[in-house]
Amino acid sequence: MPPTPSTPQAASLPAHAAYADALARVHDRIEQARSDAGLALSGVSAPGEATSSVRLLLATKTQDAAAVRAAVQADRAAGRGASVLVGENRVQELTEKAPALADLGLTTHLIGPLQSNKVNHALRALAQHGRGCIETVDSLALAEKIGSRVLASAPAHASPAGGQGGNHVEPSAPPASAVLDVYVQVNVSGEESKAGVSPDAAVDLALAVAQVSGLRLSGFMTIGARSTDEGLVRAGFTRLREIRDEVVGSGAHGTQGARELSMGMSQDLEWAVAEGATIVRVGSAVFGAR
C-alpha cells in the first residue's frame, strides 16, 4: 500500500515552509513511483505505453486563496521546472478565489461536478487564470453546453472571403484562445457515489466530445476505487489507460491530443503513476486533512 500521507501543518513552521516540505515529499513520492515503474526517461508516450512525465495538481477544496497562493509560491520557489496545476472541486470556490489568484497565471482545472446552469460561472472564473481546463465532462449534452458558451464568449473572428469590393467576410475557424481543454470523466469503479460515464460508453462519448466546436479533448479523468486492494484500484486505472489508448489510436479527428490521464490522489498516487498517470491530484498530503 502507498505510504500514508503526513500532515504538513507543523506548528513550528510558517505556512510557506510547511507547504515546501510537504510538496517536496509528494514530488519525491512521484519520482520514486516513476523510478519503480521504469519511467526514469523523459518524453511523451505512444498509445499503449506508460508516460514518464507526471504533473502534480493541487486539489484545493476548502483551502482559501491565501493558502493556495502560499503553496503555489512554495513550489515555484523550489525551481522544479513545470509549475503545479491547481484543481477546484466546486464552482463556487473557483469563482470566489479566482480574482485573488489571477496575478499568478495559474493553470487551473475544475475537478468537481459541473451543472449546466453553472457553466457560465465556471468559464468566467477559469478565464481569469492563465489557462483553464474542465476535467469532469461526463455527457455530450454538457460538452455541447460548454462548447457553445466558450464560442459565445470568444472575441468575434472573421476572415476575408474575396467578395466583390472586398467587403464581404465569412466566419473562420475559432482562434486558439476560443478553445477550452476538457477531459472525459470515467467511473472506472462503478461506485454509485462517483460521477462519470461508464467505461463501456466512454469511447463513444470521447469521440463525440472531440467533435464539439470550442472544445479540445485533451484527456481522461477518474477517481480510483475506494479500497486498499491494490489490484482492484490499479485495474480501474488500467481501464482508463486502455480507453485513452483506444480513443487516441482510433485516428478520429480531434483525438490525437487526448493523452492526459488524470488519476491518483494522496492515498493511491503510486499505483496511478505505475499505470500511466500524467496528472495526480493531491490535497491532503499537502494541505493536511480537511
> Is pLDDT of 264 > 50?
yes
C-beta of residue 246 within 8 angstroms of C-beta of residue 209? no
pLDDT at 177: 57
Identify the residue whose cell numbers are 499503449.
Answer: 48
Measure the CA–CA gap between 114 and 91, rounded to whole angstroms: 7
pLDDT at 8: 44
pLDDT at 245: 98
Structure confidence at residue 14 as a pLDDT band (50, 70, 90): low
DSSP symbols for the chain: -PPPPPP---TTS-HHHHHHHHHHHHHHHHHHHHHHTT--S-S-PPTTS-----EEEEE-TT--HHHHHHHHHHHHHTT-SSPPEEEES-HHHHHHHHHHHGGG--EEEE-S---GGGHHHHHHHHHTSSEEEEEEE-SHHHHHHHHHHHHHHSPP-EEE---GGG--EEE-PPPGGG-EEEEEEB-SS--TTS-SB-HHHHHHHHHHHTTSTTEEEEEEE----SSS-HHHHHHHHHHHHHHHHHHHHT--TT-TT--EEE---TTTHHHHHHTT-SEEEESHHHH---
Q: Sign of the C-alpha dihedral, residues 211, 215, 218, 221? A: negative
The average pLDDT across 235-242 equals 98
What nine digits make up the cell of 212? 464539439
Query: What rounded mean pLDDT belongs to the chain?
Result: 87
For 31-54, write each residue's pLDDT tens digit: 999 999 887 544 434 444 444 589
pLDDT at 39: 76
C-beta of residue 169 within 8 angstroms of C-beta of residue 160? yes
Write the CB contacts of 228 (distance below 8 Å, at least 6 apart in sequence): 1
Percent of the chain predicted with pLDDT > 90: 75
C-beta of residue 227 within 8 angstroms of C-beta of residue 2? no
Task: Give this prediction's pTM.
Answer: 0.85
The average pLDDT across 253-259 equals 97
> Is pLDDT of 113 > 50?
yes
For 165-180, write each residue's pLDDT tens digit: 444 434 444 444 579 9
What nine digits make up the cell of 260? 492526459
